[in-house]
Amino acid sequence: MTVPSRLRPFFTNVPAFRCRVHNADALRCLTMRTLLLALLIAPMFSPALAQAPASTSAALPFTLKPLGHGIYAAIDNSQGDAGANAGFIIGDDAVLVVDTFENARAAQALLGEIRMLTKLPIKFVVNTHYHLDHVAGNAVFAKEGAVIVAHRNVLSWIHTENLKFFGKDIKPEQKSEVESLAAPEVLYESAVELRIGAVPVRVEYYPGHTGGDSIVIVQQEKTAVVFCGDLFWRQTLPNLIDASTLPWMETLLTFGKFSAESPITFVPGHGDTGSSADIAAFRGYLSDLRDWVGAARKSGKTGASLTDAVLPQVKQKYGSWQFFDYFAKRNIADVEAELGGTKRIPSPATSR
Ligand SMILES: [Zn+2]
């Protein structure tokens, strides 16, 4: 299998930090409430951090998109030079970064954009999951003193499961690059609240994409921004290599119920920012895929004949989505394996 350019990593190294576990089951039910409470919360960001215009520099591997006072999404460019989306939140006395792209160059560019907006320290990086295209720039921010935060399973998988993206012929230098990725040092189980000054940022675990995925929620006066990582792909076919599509659909149903006075902005891992309608459309893709693959299995099809039967259906409805050519057949095969009970998904026991 050829590794697509967006999964070709360029890594560097990083120091370590201590771990703090937040067992926050009691907080889990607060997602809906916290979003509703957005109505009651006073403006959280310094007036000095008024929105900067969206950056359109041709040199950047992403487009910086302001989503509110001090909240920015960094949307991968059309060539996929950053490999994935990222973002950051400028609080009262520090900055929180969400994901670090697939290479240090893109991460360095993001750091440069942050530094043009604020000199505040970068306190946290949240990795939404372990995949290379979201963690490869971790070291850039760790060198700035940032603490990397993630769901516990990210630590189990970042140095092991990422090897599979290079295939069986992985080179020794690629292996060592994966094994030297800057890993998360603050781990959580269900949910954790991070503070950047007076600004609370909620990080919550949801199942479906890898089994170690986080969303990052920050509230504005009447609405909220939710960084979804790869739990949401906007008009883009997803990577289902580690997926469990049924719990994933439940997760997306939950996102669709998040509410605030004004529409919530959802930042996907891939594709442009979206609305709850986009979340529903993505859930529809997973649902359709399960239905179509399930029907083909019932008619006795397997393997290539099943793919041949399902692909035209996927193409008719989702042929215009990004990554169709790369992921459509793989998605069908992944769901066939999942429905047949033969799919391998990462286990927390994969820990080093
Ligand atoms: Zn991704």
- Whole-number Å distance, alpha carbon 30 to ligand 1 midpoint, is 27
- Whole-number Å distance, alpha carbon 6 to ligand 1 midpoint, is 9
Tokens coding 14: 């990083």
- Whole-number Å distance, alpha carbon 41 to ligand 1 midpoint, is 32
- Whole-number Å distance, alpha carbon 170 to ligand 1 midpoint, is 20
Res 65: pLDDT: 97
Min mean pLDDT across 21-30, 136-145, 191-200, 289-298 is at: 21-30
- Whole-number Å distance, alpha carbon 300 to ligand 1 midpoint, is 33
- Whole-number Å distance, alpha carbon 173 to ligand 1 midpoint, is 22
- Whole-number Å distance, alpha carbon 230 to ligand 1 midpoint, is 5
The β-bridge relationship of strands 147-151 and 224-227 is: unpaired
C-alpha closest to that of 293 among 308, 278, 279 = 308
Rounded to whole angstroms, the Cα distance separating 61 from 84 reads 10
- Whole-number Å distance, alpha carbon 273 to ligand 1 midpoint, is 14
CA dihedral 196, 199, 205, 208 (to 10 degrees): -110
Tens of pLDDT, residue by residue over 211-254, are 999 999 999 888 899 999 999 999 999 999 999 999 999 999 99
Please determine, for residue 167, whether its predicted confidence score (pLDDT) is greater than 80: yes
- Whole-number Å distance, alpha carbon 148 to ligand 1 midpoint, is 18
Question: Domains in the chain, start-ordered, CATH in brackets?
Answer: 5-281 (3.60.15.10)
Backbone angles phi, psi at 175, to 5 degrees: -60, -45
Cβ atoms of residues 123 and 94 within 8 Å: yes
- Whole-number Å distance, alpha carbon 102 to ligand 1 midpoint, is 9
Res 221: pLDDT: 83
Cβ atoms of residues 150 and 182 within 8 Å: no
Tokens coding 121: 């320290």
- Whole-number Å distance, alpha carbon 90 to ligand 1 midpoint, is 23
For the entire predicted model, the pTM comes to 0.84
- Whole-number Å distance, alpha carbon 268 to ligand 1 midpoint, is 9
Res 352: pLDDT: 47
Alpha helices of 219-269 — where are they, by DSSP H? 245-257
- Whole-number Å distance, alpha carbon 213 to ligand 1 midpoint, is 11
Res 30: pLDDT: 29
- Whole-number Å distance, alpha carbon 101 to ligand 1 midpoint, is 9
Res 34: pLDDT: 34
- Whole-number Å distance, alpha carbon 94 to ligand 1 midpoint, is 26
Res 85: pLDDT: 98
- Whole-number Å distance, alpha carbon 238 to ligand 1 midpoint, is 8
- Whole-number Å distance, alpha carbon 84 to ligand 1 midpoint, is 5
Please determine, for residue 158, whether its predicted confidence score (pLDDT) is greater than 90: yes
- Whole-number Å distance, alpha carbon 112 to ligand 1 midpoint, is 22
Tens of pLDDT, residue by residue over 63-94, are 999 999 999 999 999 889 999 999 999 999 99
- Whole-number Å distance, alpha carbon 134 to ligand 1 midpoint, is 6
350 band by pLDDT with thresholds 50, 70 and 90: low
Res 43: pLDDT: 30
- Whole-number Å distance, alpha carbon 299 to ligand 1 midpoint, is 33
Tens of pLDDT, residue by residue over 110-134, are 999 999 999 999 999 999 999 999 9
Rounded to whole angstroms, the Cα distance separating 197 from 95 reads 9
- Whole-number Å distance, alpha carbon 239 to ligand 1 midpoint, is 8
Alpha helices of 126-244 — where are they, by DSSP H? 132-135, 138-142, 152-157, 172-179
- Whole-number Å distance, alpha carbon 99 to ligand 1 midpoint, is 10
Res 349: pLDDT: 62
Contact residues for 54 (Cβ-Cβ < 8 A; gap 6+)? 63, 64, 65, 66
Rounded to whole angstroms, the Cα distance separating 241 from 4 reads 14
Tens of pLDDT, residue by residue over 278-333, are 999 999 999 999 999 999 999 999 999 999 999 999 999 999 999 999 999 999 99
- Whole-number Å distance, alpha carbon 284 to ligand 1 midpoint, is 19
- Whole-number Å distance, alpha carbon 233 to ligand 1 midpoint, is 9
- Whole-number Å distance, alpha carbon 165 to ligand 1 midpoint, is 12
Residue 202 CA, chain-centre distance (Å), reads 15
